[in-house]
Amino acid sequence: MNQFFYQITRKASELINSNDYRSINITKQTAFTRNRKLTFPVMIVLILNFLTRTMQIELDDFFANVLDADTDSVTKQAFFKARKNILPNAFKELFLMTRDMVLSKNKIKRHKGYRIFAIDGSKL
């Protein structure tokens, strides 16, 4: 399972870092062209990080721990402004890519041809 997880992660990373993916999934062609702290791949990873605490704490922790940045973190206003430049289709494309990889794996257990996600135990 770990090897398959790394395959998905590697393919997602390649997709996120590709210029074609960036150019298709931004609102205007001038977005994310300058060399800044909040690049397109950083923004995608930040949004996918499932933020649970306050935005500024999450940004500070991300820049300190994940990026190992010696510089200061960015403000939450900068994050929200950069987030406006990403189209929702960016996340749909990532989801579809991971879905296709999981479904193409032959080791998925099935019951009478169906994959079981949950059952209702009241009839049992």
Q: Residue 66's pLDDT is what? A: 79
Element (DSSP H or E) covering residue 79? helix 76-83
Q: Residue 1's pLDDT is what? A: 57
Contact in structure between 60 and 86 (CB atoms under 8 Å): no
How many Cβ atoms are within 10 Å of 5's Cβ, its own excluded? 9
Going by C-alpha positions, the residue among 40, 41, 43, 37 that lies closest to residue 68 is 37
Q: Residue 123's pLDDT is what? A: 64
Question: Alpha-carbon distance 18 to 3, whole Å?
Answer: 23
- How do residues 16-51 score in pLDDT, each as one tens digit? 999 999 999 999 988 888 888 888 999 999 998 877
Q: Residue 113's pLDDT is what? A: 82
Question: Alpha-carbon distance 29 to 9, whole Å?
Answer: 27
What residue ranges of the chain have pLDDT lower than 70? 1, 69-71, 106, 123-124
Q: Residue 85's pLDDT is what? A: 94
Whole-angstrom CA distances from 66 to 20, 62, 63, 85, 100 are 25, 5, 6, 23, 28
Q: Residue 111's pLDDT is what? A: 82
Q: Residue 69's pLDDT is what? A: 65
Work out the widest C-alpha separation in the chain, in whole angstroms. 60
